[in-house]
Amino acid sequence: MDSITKTAQSWLTDFFDEDTKKEIKHLIDNDTEELKERFYKDLEFGTGGMRGVMGVGTNRINKYTLGKNTQGLSNYLKKSYTDDDIRVVIAYDCRHNSKTLAKTVAEVFSANGIRVYLFSDLRTTPELSFAVKHIGCHAGIVLTASHNPPEYNGYKVYWADGGQIVPPQDGEIIAEINSLSFEDIKFDKNESLIHSIDRDVDDAFFEASVKNGSFDAKGKDDFKIVFTSLHGTSITAIPEVLKRAGYKNVTIIEEQAKPNGDFPTVESPNPEEPEALSMAIAKAEEIGADMVVGTDPDSDRLGIAVRNLEGKMELLNGNQTMVLMTKFLLDQYKEKGFKGNEFIATTIVSTPMMQQMAKSYGVEFKTALTGFKWIGKMIKDFPNSTFIGGGEESFGYMVGDFVRDKDAVTSTLLACEIAANAKANGSSFYKDLIDAYVDFGFYKEKLISLTKKGMSGAEEIKQMLKDFKENPVDTVQGSKLLYIEDYNTSIVKNVQTGEEFTLHLPKSNVLIYETEDGTRIAARPSGTEPKVKFYISTNAKLDKAADYKSVNSQLETKIEGILSELNL
């Protein structure tokens, strides 16, 4: 505890503002447990940049922790681009303090002689990714905590290609940040280097979204959409993009349309949670809409509900939407004729169905660690290859490469194009998905996410993953274990023969079981929240669409059995 108190006391110097010092003195005198939580470590970059609870302390998001990040990034940019007029673009979302923190970040860059383009108001994360390349910036920052609870905020860093930073660059930037003390932060702004941006970039982004997400779908006039921005940024983009693409029947959930960092109408502003879209689904049932779309606060994830075989609205998971969007894009490319250099991509915890489709269409399949930065990196690493589209199970998708991060704006348009077209052809989004299961195998997935907060929670997560690794199962629902993939050691072991293979991906705290019947169970800690996640994938052959219900029921029973066996 002494070292924690000492760290806290270092924030009582004249460099820190009076409110900060007052709060720290109060914690030192009255609340040692809270003091410990705030100062026991420094906030770190995870799979989605830096994310944390707002407040005073080294383990919190505040002007000093973000100021230090920005100072380190400024130093790194100046070392990397010695001769250039360095430019960065900054966006922020609807969260509390986002606007103020974005201004602070802009001021620190300007104090370092770096030119800043700051959005005049909140914008989506995909527009920030687009803006980096569009304006010709060396880096971009977005202030967001994505779908985390209201007390969180965050800081994501993008490089000149519009993609998030990846190794070894992230490590080099972190080393630069860690070499600094808080007193090294330059807060003395240069206003002449800070430029406000809005409509010009918006229009260019909307045009690019329409161009990449439109496929001359039939039936737009007859297609009804219910849209909710869940109090987030997508209200600034999605209604306009749908309008420009020719969709006239769009009902917006007005109670959730106003950006609000408290997210007052939902438990969690995460479209992965069924409850988040309940208001929109109720409206869709009331007005007879064909599709519901909801996005998270920074508009990089989208949740979709469509009418099932009984005509009721059903929320699809990220694997299902990803599969159908990718199949649709593959069909478009196939129609024009493949050139032989195309690829699709997903992550190691997403559905294996993506690989089956790639094989069937004869395109390359690439797989990455969790986090969209790895998919963005593939595009940069293979400049002669064409990225068709790809996503991850956590409701993120990217169409083409004009944006280099998951993009709920263009993906929303793509989903509407698929569904409107299907309806005009006497089918539906749901029926098209079932047809894909007949063609490529029926894959059904389930995610279990357990929240474990604070220091004790971090220890609990560590122990759960240790047990998962050191005490592997022999069978899963009667199917023998075949492979254990350990991304921490980069080794795949065939447990039946003892053979070992090398995994050619960066090291990561992920362990995957695969059984003889192709069932996969993955475990990993979240990089951005105090959670441990278990991903379950099962599969079966679907001979014809008419068998869907019975096979779906079998797979559901199998998943319940797996959860019971693993005590989840």
- Confirm if 121 and 235 have CB atoms less than 8 A apart: no
Q: Which position among 98, 110, 129, 146 bears the catalytic label? A: 146
Cβ contact 65:178 at 8 Å: no
Dist CA 186 CA 74 (whole Å): 10
Report the alpha-carbon distance of residue 153 to residue 50 in Å, rounded. 9
**Angle, in degrees to the nearest 10, between helices 199-213 and 408-424:** 40
DSSP string for residues in 7-30: HHHGGGSTTS-HHHHHHHHHHHHH
* Contact predicate 358/448, CB 8 Å: no
For 457-511, the DSSP string reads HHHHHHHHHHHHHHS--SEETTEEEEEEEETTTTEEEETTT--EEE--S---S-E
567: which 2 tokens?
């005590």
Report residue 127 CA to chain centroid gap: 14
Strand-by-strand arrangement of the 364-368 sheet:
364-368, 342-347, 386-392, 396-399
CA distances from 381 to 97, 172, 377, 391 (A): 36, 19, 6, 18
Measure the CA angle with vertex 564, ends 563 and 565; round to 5°. Answer: 95
What is the spatial distance between Cα 203 and Cα 215, in angstroms, rounded to a whole number? 20
| Whole-number Å distance between alpha carbons of 129 and 124 | 9
CA atoms within 13 A on the CB side of 84: 16
Give the containing element (helix H, strand E) for 345.
Answer: strand 342-347
∠ CA(12), CA(15), CA(21), 5° rounding?
30
146 is catalytic: yes
Place of tokens 């980096």: 132
Query: Which residue reads 């390349």 in tokens?
Result: 133
Q: Residue 16 has which token pair? A: 């820190």
CA dist 413 and 351 (Å) reads 23
Sign, Cα dihedral of 504, 510, 515, 520: negative
Cα(229)–Cα(369) distance, rounded to whole angstroms? 28
| Closest to 124 in 3D by CA, of 246, 227, 238, 210 | 238
Give DSSP secondary structure letters for 125-180. Answer: HHHHHHHHHHHT-SEEEEE--TTS-TTEEEEEEEETTSSBP-TTHHHHHHHHHHT-
Report CA torsion sign: 368, 372, 377, 383. positive
For the annotated catalytic residues, the residue numbers are: 146
